């Protein structure tokens, strides 16, 4: 396009989003986002901010007063937890069983702290026995960080047990629930988790760009007792709380993403209309149907059944199949997006999401039918025509 040609408006294609995020966004959420923009200190907006906090407390199953959406994606929520809770010279135990545990380690080190890694195989959950051994070996550790739902592998770890171990050793916890919130139980108060972050674009089915976080009393005490200034101005909760918890007189901190917060408000309203338990069961049922279809087709799910994430399914690529070509053909012919493997699993698995509004029978059947057609065309050794019927038996049998 030359400099003098007018640039047309952008009109995105309609896709079925079944990758690792974002997920499909409901028309109600898109409509909420299209409402008139008002000022970020407008009394009406402040009222909505308080409603968002209450909705997030319900979604996280917590009474934590310091519960709010960070203006940024889940990675911003991750960084907010570490920069507020760690100081130079601190030690943190970091569980790494995939890409996002590795990112936690990077955050710890950028805070000037020491990261002690508890490593597990990609595709396996965090081993509580290894964590307990690390806690015993390092009594001076300030926090334990782990990923509840590892998006790179499709694995769930035992958050309740890991939080229990941390509390028994007087250590704070930082828990990544970016892919779990709204899809499987996230029980912040029951677990005794101290700092938990998530993302708007996964099982909440909101637009990307916001990171719900919640800090418990022990984490707040740590923030208030810091000896050094937070390295981040933007993510300093000592400043942010004046905007989010300042009552009618809010201290200006930054211009919040007003319309994106409208969208988050509506997505949380929809989640609670459905009911958390009903949402968890819907994700589990869609996963059972999708897994039955894959197995009928002859595709393997490498994660052990007890630790699979219903909302993020790792599926082994059949031998001799060009996995990138399959993804490209699904997008071109079926308008269907699935995800590639990351890190150690790159080229070995597809990551297929069933998140929020993308966890429906239509998504399950379309994904299975499309994969059946594309893999057969590429000569993959699969059982043709079996997958959809197997899924339907789970959904409607």
246 — pLDDT class (breaks 50, 70, 90): confident
Burial class of residue 218, CB neighbours in 10 A (0-12, 13-18, 19+): middle
Going from the N-terminus, what domains does the chain have, and what CATH number goes with each?
Answer: 27-272 (3.40.640.10), 276-396 (3.90.1150.10)
Average pLDDT over residues 314-342: 97
pLDDT value at 321 more than 70: yes
β-bridge partners, 351:
314, 339
Say which residue the tokens 């869609």 belong to.
286
Can you tell me the distance from the alpha carbon of 358 to that of 48, in angstroms, rounded to the nearest whole number?
27
pLDDT, one tens digit per residue, over 201-221 is 999 999 999 999 999 999 999
Average pLDDT over residues 180-207: 98
Average pLDDT over residues 282-296: 98
Residue 53: closest CA among 283, 246, 238: 246
Mean pLDDT, the chain, integer = 96
Would you state the pLDDT for residue 250?
83
- If phi over 0 gives left and psi between -120 and 50 gives alpha, with beta otherwise, what is residue 88? beta
Average pLDDT over residues 83-90: 98
pLDDT value at 249 more than 80: no
CA-atom Rg of the chain in angstroms: 22
Instruction: Read off φ and ψ for residue 358, nearest 5 degrees.
Output: -95, 5
Burial class of residue 8, CB neighbours in 10 A (0-12, 13-18, 19+): exposed
Would you state the pLDDT for residue 130?
98
Would you state the pLDDT for residue 5?
87
242 — pLDDT class (breaks 50, 70, 90): confident
Would you state the pLDDT for residue 4?
80
In the three-class reduction of DSSP (H, G, I as helix; E, B as strand; rest coil), residue 71 is classed as strand
pLDDT value at 337 more than 90: yes
- The residue with greater pLDDT, 115 or 2, is 115
Among 10-24, 190-204, 238-252, the minimum mean pLDDT is found in 238-252
255 — pLDDT class (breaks 50, 70, 90): very high
- Percent with pLDDT over 90 in the chain: 95
Can you tell me the distance from the alpha carbon of 170 to that of 144, in angstroms, rounded to the nearest whole number?
10
Would you state the pLDDT for residue 185?
98
Would you state the pLDDT for residue 245?
82
What b/e string do you get for 220-254 counting C-beta neighbours within 10 Å, with b at 16 or more? bebbeeeeeebbbebbbbeebbebbbeeeebeebe
* Joined tokens for residue 166: 């941390």
248 — pLDDT class (breaks 50, 70, 90): low
- pTM check: above 0.85: yes
Sign of CA dihedral 329, 24, 27, 199: negative
Can you tell me the distance from the alpha carbon of 108 to that of 342, in angstroms, rounded to the nearest whole number?
22
Average pLDDT over residues 75-96: 98
- The Cα-based distances of 73 to 59, 60, 163, 198, 251 in angstroms read 18, 17, 24, 9, 23
Nearest 10 degrees: Cα torsion 359, 364, 367, 371: 140
Beta-carbon neighbour count of residue 110 at 10 Å? 15
Would you state the pLDDT for residue 2?
66
- If phi over 0 gives left and psi between -120 and 50 gives alpha, with beta otherwise, what is residue 46? alpha
Give the helix/strand (H/E) hosting 197: strand 195-197
């Amino acid at each position: 396009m030359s400099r003098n040609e007018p640039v047309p408006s952008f009109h995105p294609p309609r896709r079925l989003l079944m990758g690792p995020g974002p997920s499909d966004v409901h028309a109600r959420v898109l409509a909420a986002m299209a409402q008139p923009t008002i000022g970020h200190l407008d009394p009406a907006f402040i009222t909505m901010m308080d409603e968002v906090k209450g909705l997030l407390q319900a979604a996280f199953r917590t009474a934590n007063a310091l519960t709010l959406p960070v203006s940024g994606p889940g990675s911003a929520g991750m960084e907010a937890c570490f920069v507020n809770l760690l100081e130079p010279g601190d030690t943190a135990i970091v569980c790494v069983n995939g890409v996002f545990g590795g990112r936690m380690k990077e955050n710890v080190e950028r805070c000037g702290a020491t990261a002690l890694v508890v490593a597990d195989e990609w595709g396996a959950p965090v081993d509580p026995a290894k964590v307990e051994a690390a806690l015993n070996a390092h009594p001076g550790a300030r926090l334990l960080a782990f990923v509840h739902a590892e998006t790179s592998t499709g694995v769930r770890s035992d958050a309740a047990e890991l939080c229990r171990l941390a509390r028994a050793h007087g250590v704070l916890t930082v828990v990544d629930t970016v892919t779990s919130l709204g899809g499987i139980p996230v029980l912040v108060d029951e677990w005794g988790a101290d700092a938990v972050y998530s993302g708007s674009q996964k099982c909440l089915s909101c637009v990307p760009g916001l990171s719900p976080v919640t800090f418990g009393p022990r984490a707040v005490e740590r923030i208030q007792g810091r000896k050094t200034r937070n390295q981040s101005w933007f993510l300093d909760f000592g400043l942010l709380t004046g905007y989010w918890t300042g009552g009618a007189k809010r201290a200006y901190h930054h211009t919040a993403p007003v319309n994106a917060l409208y969208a988050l408000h509506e997505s949380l309203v929809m989640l609670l209309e459905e009911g958390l338990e009903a949402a968890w069961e819907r994700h589990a049922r869609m996963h059972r149907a999708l897994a039955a279809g894959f197995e009928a087709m002859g595709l393997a799910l490498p994660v052990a059944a007890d630790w699979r994430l219903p909302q993020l399914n790792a599926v082994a690529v059949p031998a001799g199949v060009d996995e990138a070509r399959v993804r490209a053909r699904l997008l071109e012919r079926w308008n269907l997006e699935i995800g590639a493997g990351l890190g150690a699993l790159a080229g070995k698995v597809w990551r297929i999401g069933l998140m929020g509004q993308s966890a429906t029978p239509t998504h399950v059947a379309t994904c299975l039918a499309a994969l059946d057609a594309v893999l057969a065309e590429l000569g993959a050794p699969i059982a043709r025509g079996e997958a959809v019927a197997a899924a339907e038996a789970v959904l409607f049998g």
